[in-house]
Chains A and B, each alone.
Chain A
Amino acid sequence: MTDASQTAAAPVPLSARLDRVGVVVALIAIVGMDWQPFATLKPNRLVSGQGLGLGSALPTFWAAIGIGILSLATILAVLRTGARLRLATGIVSLLMLALLIGLVPAHVVPPDNSFARVSPGAGFWLMALAFAVLTTDAIAKLKLGPLARLLLLAAAIAATALILGSGHWDGLSILKEYATNADKFWREGRQHILLAVASLAAAIVVGLPLGIACHRHATLRGVTLPVLNIIQTVPSMAMYGLMIVPLGLFAASFPIAAQLGIRGIGTAPALIALFLYSLLPVVANTVVGLAEVRRSVVEAAEGMGMTKHQRLMQVELPLALPVILTGIRIVLVQNIGLVTIAALIGGGGFGTFVFQGIGQAATDLVLLGAVPTIALAFTAAVLLDAVIELTERRRL
């Protein structure tokens, strides 16, 4: 008892009362709030604009509320507080930012001016980053189960959809770009997902049997994995370029291929390149997953009288599944990013907006391509992580 009371009486050092992640979050948030413009106002879509601080971008009332809440959140982030409170702080701050940025256009642009553009400034993005880190850190600290994480993801998607649907952000530049490109946006979105998922599906169809064969035959493994490794090191830009000539020749010599849409540029080379990149993670993880199945379990299956096929389907593959799914997660997230570059060879996808935007020096158009790509990759990662954890539960 005396020991405990002495410990309690000792002064707690300052470092013990601060949260390490929180300090980083706070530093980023403070830089974003005090030194960087919250929003940018441009006379039209192409010229560079003028930065607006929180005070000048918003009506006084909202500016005061915003500064108050975000400052309080910053202080809460620094202090050692419970994970639930941190999660609530992060979510409230992100919602606050979403609300505030939507209020800017009406405040700074005269109603009759349709050329002026308002976009989120560096301050907004820094704060959004800071509080997103706070939120994800809190989620990690809460050690939520896979289903709870999926629920949070669904809630985040629903909240975003709700804000977009309400029209609260319609005054922002990126949504004005969307308004003029709405049809194309959904078409390229579909194409983006199609390219990422179709190349993944092809990689699974080819990679899984190849991985199983590599597991069984050391010689095949010794040849296959190094080759796939080399493919993986080819820069994506070069890979797309390399596809053009052989596929062009192929289409020229086989008219049927050309009729099917196989050409040097477009969807076909994009799919093939993505497929090639996807093979290594699928094959390698299949090999590793199968190799990790305990020897005694495989031997028991054999000793019970299972055939090779029964052993594979009933014992080896189910036990290797979490590792194989990890490979598939890597591929899907990687592909969603790589598809962006496929736009360069006419493959389509959100990359179309990115490269168009770069060509026109229209940052907002770049964002129209980049933001949904990041959101897609993030969603895929959270989704597959949850699935992997669910399959792992029954594994020793």
Chain B
Amino acid sequence: MIELDHVSRRFGEQLAVDDVSFAVERGTITVIVGTSGSGKSTTLRMINRLIEPTSGTITIDGKDTTAVSGEELRRGIGYVIQGNGLFPHWTVARNIATVPTLLGWDSAKIARRVDELLALFSMKPEDFREKFPHQLSGGEQQRVGVARALAAEPGLLLMDEPFGALDPIIRAKAQEDLLAVQRRLGITVVLVTHDMEEAIHLGDRIAVMDGGKLLQYAPPAEILAKPAPGFVAKLVDGADRPFRLLSLAPVSSIVEPGTAEGPPILETATLRDALSELLWHRRDALPVTAADGSTRGKISLSNLVAHAGGAA
């Protein structure tokens, strides 16, 4: 667990981060979202002490981050930045091996780990090991960047606008990859973005920052349904807000007993998918099935619509 306790950072006269406190649960994804100058990147960098807080304390699993040197702390925390920051004069393998080498792992163990990570990101080790970053596509560079950050098996991964430089299709793929890897490894992720859509899609919890202040810290459904008045409300306001909200919950959350006619919907699909199916097939209700094909009940349009709104 990461805890920020009344953390502030001042640059000269300017208060970049103003008395921010929040806690991140182990094994979850927390997204800090805000415009540029909101203090989101500064907050992230204070966690691995690339920037030292002016006041306040940060603890990771109960240990104050200032208990060890900045370098030692950072070697234990994965770090991914926009534009990946791969070392252009090193091969993919050498790039991924950066932290293990700094930690003094033996070369056989490092080689094994590099191959393991390349395979995890669906890159054939024998094809990619000896390539240089400029020989990779943008998406591949991004994946190598994340693989490098995970090389020494950190429990915590910090990501600063990691998908900012990618085009939309590769970006969506990279987000899915991250979710899959995070679930598989059970690591804690703190990610910074200016994109609310990305925050809602990836975050277990979202921290909205503006002008150095933490305005709201809540799960995405709450941010959408009950945004803090002012900046957060403006940020989530938009024609597609009900659909965003529906995309957060699975069909299984509102399944009703009974049966219905029409093509069945998987219980793991999102409510947004269910709405889309209901509208397309002109039905008031559709049957719900589990992955093995057994019937679980039905989902009705009226019940679904009741879940798509904010506070009455």
Using a CB–CB distance below 8 Å, which chain A residues touch chain B?
A: 294, 296-297, 299-307, 310, 315, 318-319, 394-396
Q: List A contacts of B133 (CB < 8 A).
A: 396
CA distance A302 to B133 in the complex (A): 19
Q: A395 near B89 (CB under 8 angstroms)?
A: yes
B110 to chain A, nearest CB (A): 14
Residue of B50, B76, B81 with most chain A CB atoms under a 10 A cut-off: B81
Q: List A contacts of B89 (CB < 8 A).
A: 318-319, 394-395
Is B176 an interface residue when CB atoms closer than 8 A count as contact?
no
A303-B48, A396-B134 known; A296+B82 contact, CB < 8 A? yes
Q: B81 near A299 (CB under 8 angstroms)?
A: yes
Q: List B contacts of A297 (CB < 8 A).
A: 85-88
Render B88-116 as a binary contact track against A, CB cut-off 8 A, 1 for contact: 11000000001100100000000000000
A305-B99, A310-B102 known; A300+B88 contact, CB < 8 A? no
Using a CB–CB distance below 8 Å, which chain B residues touch chain A?
A: 48, 50, 70-76, 79, 81-89, 98-99, 102, 132-134, 148, 158
Q: List A contacts of B75 (CB < 8 A).
A: 304-305
Q: Is the interface of A mostly helix, strand, loop or mixed?
A: helix
CA distance A187 to B82 in the complex (A): 59
Q: List A contacts of B134 (CB < 8 A).
A: 396
A303-B50, A303-B74, A310-B102 known; A319+B79 contact, CB < 8 A? no
Q: B72 near A300 (CB under 8 angstroms)?
A: no
CA distance A302 to B48 in the complex (A): 10
Which 5 pairs, one residue from A and one from B, show the smallest C-beta to C-beta distance? A300-B85, A305-B75, A305-B74, A303-B79, A396-B88
Q: B83 near A296 (CB under 8 angstroms)?
A: yes
Question: Which of A296, A305, A319, A394 is the one whose CB lies under 8 Å from B81?
Answer: A296
Residue of A302, A303, A395 with most chain B CB atoms under a 10 A cut-off: A303
Q: A395 near B50 (CB under 8 angstroms)?
A: no
A303-B48, A303-B50, A305-B75 known; A395+B98 contact, CB < 8 A? no
Q: A304 near B86 (CB under 8 angstroms)?
A: no
Q: List B contacts of A296 (CB < 8 A).
A: 81-85
Q: List A contacts of B79 (CB < 8 A).
A: 300, 303-304
CA distance A136 to B277 in the complex (A): 72
Q: A303 near B81 (CB under 8 angstroms)?
A: yes
CA distance A294 to B83 in the complex (A): 10
A302-B50, A305-B74 known; A395+B88 contact, CB < 8 A? yes
Q: A306 near B83 (CB under 8 angstroms)?
A: no
B29 to chain A, nearest CB (A): 19
Q: B81 near A300 (CB under 8 angstroms)?
A: yes
Residue of B nearest to A296 (CB): B85
Q: List A contacts of B148 (CB < 8 A).
A: 304
Q: List B contacts of A294 (CB < 8 A).
A: 85, 88
Residue of A nearest to B94 (CB): A314
Residue of A nearest to B99 (CB): A304
28 pairs from A and B in contact (CB 8 Å cutoff): A296-B84, A297-B85, A299-B50, A300-B81, A300-B87, A301-B85, A302-B74, A303-B48, A303-B50, A303-B85, A303-B158, A304-B74, A304-B79, A304-B98, A304-B102, A304-B148, A305-B72, A305-B75, A306-B98, A310-B102, A315-B87, A318-B89, A319-B89, A394-B89, A395-B89, A396-B88, A396-B133, A396-B134
CA distance A296 to B88 in the complex (A): 11
CA distance A319 to B134 in the complex (A): 14
CA distance A394 to B91 in the complex (A): 9
Q: A394 near B88 (CB under 8 angstroms)?
A: yes
CA distance A305 to B79 in the complex (A): 10
Q: List B contacts of A318 (CB < 8 A).
A: 89
Residue of B nearest to A293 (CB): B88
Q: List B contacts of A300 (CB < 8 A).
A: 79, 81, 84-87
CA distance A296 to B79 in the complex (A): 12
**14 additional contacts, CB 8 Å, given A305-B70, A306-B98, A307-B71?**
A296-B84, A296-B85, A300-B86, A300-B87, A303-B50, A303-B79, A304-B79, A304-B99, A304-B102, A305-B72, A305-B75, A305-B99, A306-B102, A396-B88
Residue of A nearest to B83 (CB): A296
CA distance A296 to B87 in the complex (A): 9
Residue of B nearest to A396 (CB): B88
B204 to chain A, nearest CB (A): 23
Residue of B nearest to A303 (CB): B79
CA distance A297 to B79 in the complex (A): 12
Residue of B nearest to A307 (CB): B71
Question: Which of B71, B85, B86, B132 is the one whose CB lies under 8 Å from A305?
Answer: B71
CA distance A299 to B75 in the complex (A): 14
A301 to chain B, nearest CB (A): 7
B125 to chain A, nearest CB (A): 21
Residue of A nearest to B133 (CB): A396
CA distance A216 to B83 in the complex (A): 24
Q: List B contacts of A299 (CB < 8 A).
A: 50, 81, 85
CA distance A305 to B73 in the complex (A): 7
A113 to chain B, nearest CB (A): 64
B56 to chain A, nearest CB (A): 21
CA distance A310 to B102 in the complex (A): 9
Residue of B70, B85, B132 with most chain A CB atoms under a 10 A cut-off: B85
Q: List B contacts of A394 (CB < 8 A).
A: 88-89, 132
B143 to chain A, nearest CB (A): 15
Q: List A contacts of B85 (CB < 8 A).
A: 294, 296-297, 299-301, 303
Residue of B nearest to A308 (CB): B71
B244 to chain A, nearest CB (A): 31
